[in-house]
Amino acid sequence: MPPSPSTAEPRVAPPPGDPRSLVLARLAYLAVILLATLPGGLDLDSDRIAERLSAAFELTFSGRDVVDAVRNIVLFAGWGAVWIATEGKGRPLRAIAVATVTGALLSLSVETIQLLSATRTASVLDVMTNTAGSFAGAATLAAMIAAVVAARGQRSFVGLPAFVFAGAYGCAVLLEALLPPFSSDMIPGHGGGIGERFARAVAAFDPASVTDLRVYPLLLFPPAGALAVAALVEARVSYRAALVWVAAVVLPLFVAVEMVGGVAGLPISAGAVLEHAVGTVAGAALAARYLPAFTRGFSGAVRPALLLLAYVGVLALWSWRPFVPVGSLAALAEQISLRQLVPLFAHSIRVDYFSVADITRQFALLVPVGALLAVWPLRRRGWLSGPLPGIYVACALEGVQVLLVHRMFDMTDALVGSSAILIGWTIVRRAGMRPYAELLASPGAAARGTAGSSARTRGSGRR
C-alpha cells in the first residue's frame, strides 16, 4: 500500500541547470571551505604532530571555542545547503544524510591535515560542529523547499509565499537585536557559566537604558512586522487578527533576545527592547491598514515589481548605514586594500560573535531577492535573466561601502550575498515554481504572462 499523503515524503523538482554547473557549484564551495580551513605552512616534526594529535581530543571550552563552533556551523551549513540545492531527484531525507556524511568526511580530512600545521589547531570538537553544520544547512534548505512546495498554488500577494520574505527578514532582525553592529561594549568580567553570565547581566542592567534609543532600528524593524502580517493573511488570518498576533508576540520575543544577549556578555538595554517592539508593531499596523488598498490598487507584475524596488531600498539602508561618506581621496585610498579581495580574510582576523552575525544577517536578507526573481525575472534571457540581477544588487551593496566611513568593502560579503541570491532562487525553482512573466516586459505581455498567477494573487486583499 502506498504511503498516505500525511506520511509520504515530499518530492521536489530536480535542480535547474546542467549537471556540470551543479558539480562546479559543489567544487566552488569546497574551495571556499579549504581556503578557510587549510594551513598555510606545514610542520612535519613527528613529536609535535603527536602532541597536536593528543591535544585534538581534549574537550575543553573557552569563549573563543564557542565562537569557533558557531563559525564552523555557519561555514559547513553552506556545504549542506549547496549539496541539497544541487541534488537530483530523490528522497530529501536521503539527500540530507548524504550531505551530512560528506560534510563529516570533509571535516575529518581538514582536521587531519591541520595536525601537520603549527598555526592551526585540530580538534574533535571541530569535526562535531562541522558535521552539525552540514546537517543543519541541508535540513534547513530541504525544509524550506518542502514549505514552498506545500504553499504552491495557494493564495499569495505576489505569486510567492510571503513567509519566504517574512522568515528571512525575521531572522535578520533577530540577529540585529541580539548582536547589533557598531556596539561591541561588553559587560566587565563576562566569563563563566550560563547562570553566572545571566546573573551578572541582570546585575549590570541600568533602568536608565530605556532612553538609549537609536534611529536605525525604527527604520529597519517595521518591514518585519509588515511581512509577518502579509504571511499571516496568506494563511487566512484576518488583518486585524494578524496585527494582534504580531503585537502580542514581539515584546516577549525581544525581551528574550535581550536576555540571550546578556548571557553572551552584552549589556541588557530596555531602550533596545522598546524600539525593536515599537518598530515591528508599527510596521504590522501599517500593513494591516494599507495592504488591502494596495492589493486592490495594483495587480499582476506591478505588485512584485514594487516589492522588489522597496526591498532593495531597505537592503541599501541595512548595508550603508550610518551613511557617512569618506571626506577625502586619502581617506578613500585607505578604504581600498588588496586584502579585501581575499575571501574570508577579514573574518579570519576578527574572531567574535559579531563577525558571524554579520555574515548570517547578510545571507538572510538577500535570500528573498533570489526567491522573487525565480518567479518574476526581469528578463527570461540575457544579462538580466534568472538570479543575475540579484547578484548585481549584492555586489553593488557591498561595493558602495568603499565610499562610506565605518564601512569596508569585503569580498566575503559580496560572495555571501551572491550565494544567498542563488540559494533563494534555487529553493523556489526546486519547489516546482516557474516564472510567471518578465518584470520588464511591456504591460500587454506582462498581463498575458500573469494570467496563470491571477488565481493565486487575487483575493489576498479582501480580508
Identify whether residues 136 and 223 lie together within a single domain. Answer: no
How many CA within 13 A on the CB side of residue 192?
15
Identify whether residues 194 and 285 lie together within a single domain. Answer: yes
Distance CA 312, CA 368 (A): 10
Identify whether residues 275 and 365 lie together within a single domain. Answer: no
Residue 353 lies in a domain: yes
Distance CA 245, CA 236 (A): 13
Among residues 344, 360, 416, the alpha carbon closest in space to that of 34 is found at: 344
Residue 458 lies in a domain: no
Amino acid at 44: L
Q: How many helices (H) and strands (E) does the chain have?
A: 19, 0
Spell 105-121 as b/e; 16+ CB within 10 A means b. ebbeebbebbbbbeebb
- What per-residue confidence (pLDDT) applies to 447? 53
pLDDT in tens, the chain (463 residues): 333 333 334 445 556 655 666 787 888 888 888 877 776 677 777 877 788 888 778 776 666 667 778 888 888 998 999 999 888 666 888 999 999 999 999 999 998 988 888 777 888 889 999 999 999 999 999 999 999 999 988 889 999 999 999 999 999 999 999 988 876 677 776 666 777 888 888 888 888 888 888 888 889 999 999 999 999 999 999 999 999 999 999 999 999 999 998 888 888 999 999 999 999 999 999 999 999 999 999 988 999 999 999 999 999 999 998 888 887 787 777 777 766 666 666 655 555 677 778 888 999 999 999 999 999 999 999 999 999 999 999 999 999 988 888 787 888 888 889 989 999 999 999 898 999 999 987 665 555 555 445 445 544 544 4
Distance CA 196, CA 200 (A): 6
- What per-residue confidence (pLDDT) applies to 461? 46
- What per-residue confidence (pLDDT) applies to 231? 97
Q: At what angle do helices 162-178 and 124-151 cross, to 10 degrees?
A: 150
Identify whether residues 292 and 166 lie together within a single domain. Answer: yes
Distance CA 190, CA 65 (A): 15
Identify whether residues 335 and 368 lie together within a single domain. Answer: yes
Identify whether residues 137 and 165 lie together within a single domain. Answer: no
Identify whether residues 251 and 382 lie together within a single domain. Answer: no
Q: At what angle do helices 239-263 and 222-234 cross, to 10 degrees?
A: 130
Are 312 and 384 in contact by the 8 Å Cβ rule? The answer is no
Spell 429-450 as b/e; 16+ CB within 10 A means b. bbbebebbbbbebeeeebeebb
Residue 180 lies in a domain: yes
Identify whether residues 206 and 235 lie together within a single domain. Answer: yes
Residue 456 lies in a domain: no
Identify whether residues 25 and 90 lie together within a single domain. Answer: yes
Identify whether residues 318 and 255 lie together within a single domain. Answer: no
Residue where a domain terminates, one of 97, 116, 151: 151
Identify whether residues 356 and 387 lie together within a single domain. Answer: yes
Question: For the CA atoms of 412, 402, 424, 275, what is the dihedral angle to 10 degrees?
Answer: 110
Amino acid at 280: T
- What per-residue confidence (pLDDT) applies to 232? 97
- What per-residue confidence (pLDDT) applies to 109? 92
Residue 5 lies in a domain: no
Identify whether residues 291 and 166 lie together within a single domain. Answer: yes
Residue 462 lies in a domain: no
Look up the pTM and report it: 0.84
Distance CA 226, CA 310 (A): 13
How many domains would you assign to the chain?
3
Residue by residue, DSSP assigns 263-324 as HTTPPP-HHHHHHHHHHHHHHHHHHHHHHHHHHHH--TTHHHHHHHHHHHHHHHHHHHTT--
Distance CA 335, CA 405 (A): 8
Residue where a domain terminates, one of 269, 297, 325: 297
Residue 357 lies in a domain: yes
Q: Determine the structural domain holding residue 34 and report its residue range.
A: 18-151
Residue 452 lies in a domain: no
Distance CA 362, CA 175 (A): 10
Residue where a domain terminates, one of 133, 151, 169: 151
Are 156 and 460 in contact by the 8 Å Cβ rule? The answer is yes
